[in-house]
């Protein structure tokens, strides 16, 4: 790229908010780095590894929950929204993490769990104590039917009815997830105010934004109408899959609450708000949640649970977000989904595919998140049943592929005990198939997936067309994906072979970055090339 074009790219990046087109590295604190040898990762361990995160070329990091919790769902069951669980450290450690990250020019976003809390949270303890308590309506309570059965037919994500009888109140309470995760009644103005105060608490400590967990579960149908049966022929491994989820989630008033949240975050300057949205109507909800005055961005599960990565899938996902439809964020992997390398390609092509997949992620229009270890090309770990920790996998064994296999400890040193994650026994077994892919081995190899990831992120950072430009899909057949990224400064052609074949390929311009075999007329298996068009 010419010098003046590079300067224009920098100027364009400076003119946009930091999160627009940003690359964010997701860290699961339990599994990233253990500083004290207890086998569980912690905030001090993260601080010690922040130089590595910064070296990748990402704009920031997203921390999965580290709040006080009984850990029935490993932090997504919050017992105190304003404190750090002792297993991870202290608020002082969190403050030190923020300070060090900002010194490295890394933004920090954290999870917020607004749809439910832990049943150990003082709010719930008070709510269940009496129908007349000050927080009696802070959770979703309902009387039994005349025959003693639950109020309706809603099912929980983790299996079984979404209602749990509570003898203290003589009523059922709603839990869309575990029974230990009662649903907050976010219809209540008092609950909304309390949650907004939680947001202010962390913004006051310097966080740069929030990833909001399962936000479309935050409000229910107050009439408690039954969900109708599912009408599609999709895979059904849980009772939850047998229903259309019209009434237990996705209430239209969620958007009004998000407008209040946005007002709070905007009062602190440029902060990033990112919604996680799943379900059959995810696209419509994501776009509703990201309208002006609501959240900055949203991501769903287009790729996270996809069995294969195909050109038509990528084209459809990209075309679902035209210029006037808000700003998407993309993830190929995260803490809730099996590693993409193991889902999308056979073992013989994993190394090439890991690079091509990363290059594709870094060229999509939108912001992106990279799951810890994705930059190394890590495959899924086969965690034996007796070592499982994931409550969903245990409840639905063997139909649900365990999330634990993607949450195993980060491999820092292939020669060290527990791959350098901890001097103690890790909470999940380290993956033996990660030994040769450990950070120390890849740091020494300029041809490694880690090195290629850094180059992909550098490319995204210096080319304004990739970070904030328009995207136009040119071709998307069973093998070849071709799209253009362009803005007022440059025009890039992105070509991907997402197959083991060798489709016809015609060069379009000056090659900027490539992976795999790039012939005069064909792309090799899982090869890709980014070109600049004059």
Residues involved in catalysis: 213, 276
Measure the CA–CA gap between 200 and 104, rounded to whole angstroms.
24
Residue labelled with tokens 């379009």: 508
The count of other CB atoms within 10 Å of the CB of residue 251 is: 19
Measure the CA–CA gap between 534 and 491, rounded to whole angstroms.
7
Which residues are paired to 350 by β-bridges? none
Measure the CA–CA gap between 366 and 475, rounded to whole angstroms.
20
Measure the CA–CA gap between 2 and 454, rounded to whole angstroms.
21
DSSP character for 349?
Answer: G
**DSSP result, 132-143:** TSTTTTSB-EEP
Measure the CA–CA gap between 511 and 380, rounded to whole angstroms.
33
Measure the CA–CA gap between 407 and 380, rounded to whole angstroms.
9
Which residues are paired to 511 by β-bridges? 531
Quote the longest CA-to-CA distance of the chain: 76
DSSP character for 229?
Answer: B
Measure the CA–CA gap between 428 and 329, rounded to whole angstroms.
29
Measure the CA–CA gap between 459 and 32, rounded to whole angstroms.
26
Phi, psi (rounded to 5 degrees) for 296: -75, -35
Measure the CA–CA gap between 482 and 505, rounded to whole angstroms.
10
C-alpha distance across the termini of the chain, in Å? 10
Measure the CA–CA gap between 66 and 93, rounded to whole angstroms.
11
Measure the CA–CA gap between 192 and 246, rounded to whole angstroms.
22
Measure the CA–CA gap between 9 and 482, rounded to whole angstroms.
23
Report CA Rg, the chain.
23
Contact 484, 465 (CB under 8 A): no
Measure the CA–CA gap between 140 and 151, rounded to whole angstroms.
11
The count of other CB atoms within 10 Å of the CB of residue 219 is: 25
CB burial readout 408-431, b (16+ within 10 A) else e: bbbbbebebebbbbbeeebbbbbb
DSSP character for 329?
Answer: E
Taking Cα atoms as reference points, which of 249, 499, 470, 275 lies closest to residue 363?
A: 470
Taking Cα atoms as reference points, which of 122, 126, 164, 112 lies closest to residue 142?
A: 164
């Amino acid at each position: 790229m010419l010098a003046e074009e590079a300067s224009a790219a920098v100027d364009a990046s400076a003119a946009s908010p930091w999160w627009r087109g940003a690359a964010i590295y997701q860290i699961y604190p339990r599994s990233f780095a253990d500083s004290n040898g207890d086998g569980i990762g912690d905030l001090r361990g993260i601080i010690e590894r922040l130089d590595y995160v910064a070296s990748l070329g990402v704009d920031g990091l997203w921390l999965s929950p580290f709040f006080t919790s009984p850990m029935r769902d490993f932090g997504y069951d919050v017992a105190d929204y304003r404190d750090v669980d002792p297993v991870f450290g202290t608020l002082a450690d969190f403050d030190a993490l923020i300070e060090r990250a900002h010194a490295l020019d890394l933004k920090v976003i954290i999870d917020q769990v607004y749809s439910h809390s832990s049943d150990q949270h003082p709010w719930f303890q008070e709510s269940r104590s009496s129908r007349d308590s000050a927080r009696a309506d802070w959770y979703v309570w309902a009387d039994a039917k005349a025959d003693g059965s639950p109020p309706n037919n809603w099912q929980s994500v983790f299996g079984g009815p979404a209602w749990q009888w509570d003898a203290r109140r003589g009523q059922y309470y709603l839990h869309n997830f575990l029974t230990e995760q009662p649903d907050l009644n976010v219809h209540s103005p008092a609950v909304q105010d309390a949650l907004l105060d939680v947001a202010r608490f962390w913004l006051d400590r310097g966080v740069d934004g929030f990833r909001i967990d399962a936000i479309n579960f935050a409000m229910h149908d107050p009439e408690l109408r039954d969900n109708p049966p599912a009408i599609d022929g999709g895979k059904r491994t849980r009772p939850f899959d047998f229903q259309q989820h019209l009434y237990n989630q996705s209430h239209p008033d969620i958007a009004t609450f998000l407008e209040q949240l946005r007002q709070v975050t905007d009062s602190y300057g440029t902060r990033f708000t990112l919604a996680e949205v799943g379900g059959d109507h995810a696209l419509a909800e994501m776009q509703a949640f990201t309208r002006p005055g609501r959240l900055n961005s949203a991501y769903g599960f287009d790729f996270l649970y996809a069995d294969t990565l195909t050109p038509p899938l990528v084209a459809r996902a990209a075309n679902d977000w035209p210029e006037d439809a808000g700003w998407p964020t993309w993830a190929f992997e995260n803490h809730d989904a099996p590693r993409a390398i193991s889902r999308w390609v056979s073992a013989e092509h994993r190394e090439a595919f890991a690079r091509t997949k990363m290059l594709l992620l870094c060229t999509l229009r939108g912001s992106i998140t990279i799951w810890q270890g994705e930059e190394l090309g890590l495959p899924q770990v086969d965690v034996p049943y007796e070592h499982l920790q994931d409550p969903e996998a245990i409840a639905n064994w063997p139909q649900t592929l365990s999330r634990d296999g993607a949450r195993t400890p980060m491999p820092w040193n292939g020669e060290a005990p527990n791959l350098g994650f901890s001097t103690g026994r890790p909470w999940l077994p380290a993956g033996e198939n990660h030994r040769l892919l450990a950070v120390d081995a890849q740091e020494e190899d300029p041809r490694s997936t880690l090195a290629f990831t850094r180059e992909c992120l550098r490319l995204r950072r210096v080319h304004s067309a990739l970070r904030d430009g328009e995207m136009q899909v040119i071709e998307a057949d069973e093998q070849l994906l071709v799209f253009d990224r362009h803005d007022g400064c440059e025009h890039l052609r992105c070509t991907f072979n997402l197959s083991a074949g060798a489709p016809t390929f015609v060069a379009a311009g000056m090659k900027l970055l490539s992976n795999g075999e790039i012939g005069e007329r064909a792309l090799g298996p899982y090869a890709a090339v980014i070109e600049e068009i004059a």
